[in-house]
Amino acid sequence: MTTTRENPSAAFLLGGDLPVARLGFGAMRLPAREIAGPANDPETSAAVLRRAVELGVNHIDTAWFYFHDGLSANGLIRRVLHPYPEDLVQAVKVGPVRHPDGSWGAPAGPRELVAGVHRTLRELGQDRLDLVYLRLHEHDEAVAERFGALAALREEGLIRHLGLSNTTTGQLASAQRIAPVAAVQNMYGLFHRRHPEVLDACTRQGIAFVPFFSLESLGRPEPAEPLARIAARNGASPEQVKLAWTLARSPVVLAIPGTSSVAHVEDNIAAAELLLEPEDLAALDAVST
């Protein structure tokens, strides 16, 4: 896929009816910088969340397993933002089971998914969730049964739109035979372009593609060029260039960088105004993955 010079600040209609800014906020790092801890200062995390919304973020991504030492992303979101702005869209991931001590269990079955959605509604103080992702694993063979449980909640009016996270094109097609899929959330970034065929499928169908870890190199060494050169020429940070490149991959891409720093959230959101030149995009496209 070749990047395009789209306006990254343009809104996207999520699910065809929810207008969201293409640069949102991921809540994973609100409870702790790393999911295993240590815990963040709650007031600092509250300030990060508050600042993100002040800067125009209206798409927040959270999960029932984002917590540490009693501090949860869902709890912070409700404490800081409720009653919610009318245009705020909240996306929630469900599927992986995480126990109160932080340990992980087997993926949630249909009954656990239903119970977890009801719990999330209570945690966020909502009557309906805007978007619920079912988080999968590569060889998940129970997609239909588990996605079907969420589709039933959608029919009941408890969920507005459904999504898939960590999915393949085969799993996407399987889910679509049960209910519409409004968004896909997969790992994707400048230095780890996994599942490009999923991005292609989302682009063709107008499905939101929401990459996670888009700023990470996942332990690989990052080449200094051309990232540093392009950042310097644009008066931007390397992270802003990564986000601008990510948004330019397709008009269906919605970025959700997360942070536990007010300064970083300001830097990230400013990337929505960075429009890279075609030669910059071509140079970044050519960076080895």
Active centre residues (catalytic): 66
State the Cα–Cα distance between residues 88 and 83, nearest whole angstrom.
10
Half-sphere exposure (CA, 13 Å, Cβ side) for 244? 26
Taking residue 78's Cβ as centre, other Cβ atoms within 10 Å add up to 17
* Cα Rg of the chain (Å, integer): 18
**DSSP result, 18-85:** EEEESB-EE-TTTTBSSTT-PBPPHHHHHHHHHHHHHTT--EEEEETT-EETTEEHHHHHHHHHPSPP
Beta strands at 67-68 and 71-72: parallel, antiparallel or unpaired:
antiparallel
Residues facing residue 63 across a β-bridge: 93
Residue 50 burial (C-beta neighbours within 10 Å; 0-12, 13-18, 19+): middle
